Amino acid sequence: MLMLDVSYNHKSTERNKKMKPLMGFIFCCGTMFLMIDLGYKIIDLHAHFRDNIPFHTRLAKEAGIGTTLYMPNTKACLDNIKEIKKSLRIKRHIRAIPISAITIGRKGRKLVNVNTIKPNVIGFSDDGNCLTNLKLLAEILKKNVLIMAHLEPETEMAKKYLKVLSKVGGKLHLQHISKTSTINVIKRAKRFGLKFTSETCPHYFTYSSEIEDKPVNPPLGTLKDVKAVKEALKDGIIDCIASDYAPIPRPKGTGFASFESFISLSYGLVLQKVLTHKQLKAKFHDNPLKIIRP
Ligand SMILES: [Zn+2]
């Protein structure tokens, strides 16, 4: 069995400047591990920590992640200041910053108290559910807070969200992009000068629906979509790679990512010569940093 495992050592500052990863192989019990030291800490814009922040942030730290944003669909939804502050008091092993829900209970009916919550979070998302009420979307975009959007159906809602953005402005980030048609929408909007960002996740440039039968949301694309996602990363149409880390046990229809596959599959893009080391650093670190900076 061949298995890729990617480990990072953040102390090698001399090498950071050159951005050449240290690579080595370790054989253990018939398994080959590829060890990679990229020399920078990853900023993962999209993870789910469920109800165990200490455990999952420890795994993230071991994988080489420095900062993670975690989505609000924890046991008690992060849709009010009390729960968000409670969450922030829990021990964590990396910089882990909560994302608030956009609407109460992520139900799409009533906006959370944005002004009260804003200083304690990086942004707002109903991830897992798509906010279809575009009036509420416009209302929260006008407050100029970062909105991380779960789009479903992806292409149709991307068009609608970008139309709203073009009218009211704001800070919009499109989550887990997986389809050629959505990439075309993003391309056109960027050509018109609209400012927004987007991410994809490793499963969307690795697995296709023809070969894999994985229940993820959004669903896996076709082989054509996998190719389009890779090209969009290469051409800078998609800005970031996020994990959508969804630990087991996970509800049906959520991600199958782990932090290890997040990093090793993304590094595979460098090995396939889809991305350069510099471009991978942009997707893993530089662009996410620009998005989370106030
Ligand atoms: Zn998610």
The answer to whether 204 and 180 are in contact (CB under 8 A) is no
C-alpha of residue 95 to centroid of ligand 1, in Å: 18
pLDDT one digit per residue (tens) for the chain, 294 residues: 233 333 333 343 444 444 455 554 444 334 344 556 788 999 999 999 988 999 999 999 988 899 999 999 988 999 999 999 999 999 999 999 999 999 999 999 999 999 999 999 999 999 999 999 999 999 999 999 999 999 999 999 999 999 999 999 999 999 999 999 999 999 999 999 999 999 999 999 999 998 887 778 888 999 999 999 999 999 999 999 999 998 877 666 555 667 878 998 999 999 999 999 999 999 999 999 999 997
Strand order from edge to edge, sheet including 197-200: 42-47, 65-70, 95-100, 123-124, 146-149, 171-174, 197-200, 240-241
C-alpha of residue 200 to centroid of ligand 1, in Å: 11
Identify the architecture of domain 38-292 in CATH: Alpha-Beta Barrel (3.20)
Can you tell me the distance from the alpha carbon of 242 to that of 176, in angstroms, rounded to the nearest whole number? 8
C-alpha of residue 100 to centroid of ligand 1, in Å: 13
C-alpha of residue 126 to centroid of ligand 1, in Å: 9
C-alpha of residue 140 to centroid of ligand 1, in Å: 20
C-alpha of residue 124 to centroid of ligand 1, in Å: 13
Q: Which two tokens stand for residue 77?
A: 């939804």
pLDDT for residue 247: 81
> What phi and psi values does residue 3 have, to the nearest 5 degrees?
-135, 135
C-alpha of residue 125 to centroid of ligand 1, in Å: 9
Q: Which two tokens stand for residue 109?
A: 């009916």
The answer to whether 69 and 99 are in contact (CB under 8 A) is yes
Domain ranges of the chain: 38-292
Can you tell me the distance from the alpha carbon of 270 to that of 285, in angstroms, rounded to the nearest whole number? 15
C-alpha of residue 18 to centroid of ligand 1, in Å: 33
> What phi and psi values does residue 144 have, to the nearest 5 degrees?
55, 40
C-alpha of residue 46 to centroid of ligand 1, in Å: 6
Can you tell me the distance from the alpha carbon of 72 to that of 88, in angstroms, rounded to the nearest whole number? 12
C-alpha of residue 52 to centroid of ligand 1, in Å: 16
Cross-strand partners of 99? 123
* Helices and strands (H and E) in the chain: how many: 11, 10
C-alpha of residue 270 to centroid of ligand 1, in Å: 25
C-alpha of residue 63 to centroid of ligand 1, in Å: 19
pLDDT for residue 10: 37
C-alpha of residue 73 to centroid of ligand 1, in Å: 9
C-alpha of residue 11 to centroid of ligand 1, in Å: 30
Residue 183, C-beta contacts closer than 8 angstroms, at least 6 positions apart: 177, 228, 229, 232, 237, 238
C-alpha of residue 244 to centroid of ligand 1, in Å: 5
C-alpha of residue 106 to centroid of ligand 1, in Å: 13
C-alpha of residue 12 to centroid of ligand 1, in Å: 32
User: What is residue 89's three-state secondary structure?
Assistant: coil
Distances (CA, A) of 152 to 26, 177, 226, 284: 42, 11, 18, 25
At 226, the amino acid letter reads: V
Q: Which two tokens stand for residue 71?
A: 């989505």
The pTM assigned to this predicted structure is 0.89
Can you tell me the distance from the alpha carbon of 185 to that of 174, in angstroms, rounded to the nearest whole number? 12
C-alpha of residue 109 to centroid of ligand 1, in Å: 20
pLDDT for residue 38: 80
Nearest CA to 291 among 147, 184, 161? 147
C-alpha of residue 249 to centroid of ligand 1, in Å: 14
C-alpha of residue 25 to centroid of ligand 1, in Å: 32
Can you tell me the distance from the alpha carbon of 182 to that of 232, in angstroms, rounded to the nearest whole number? 11
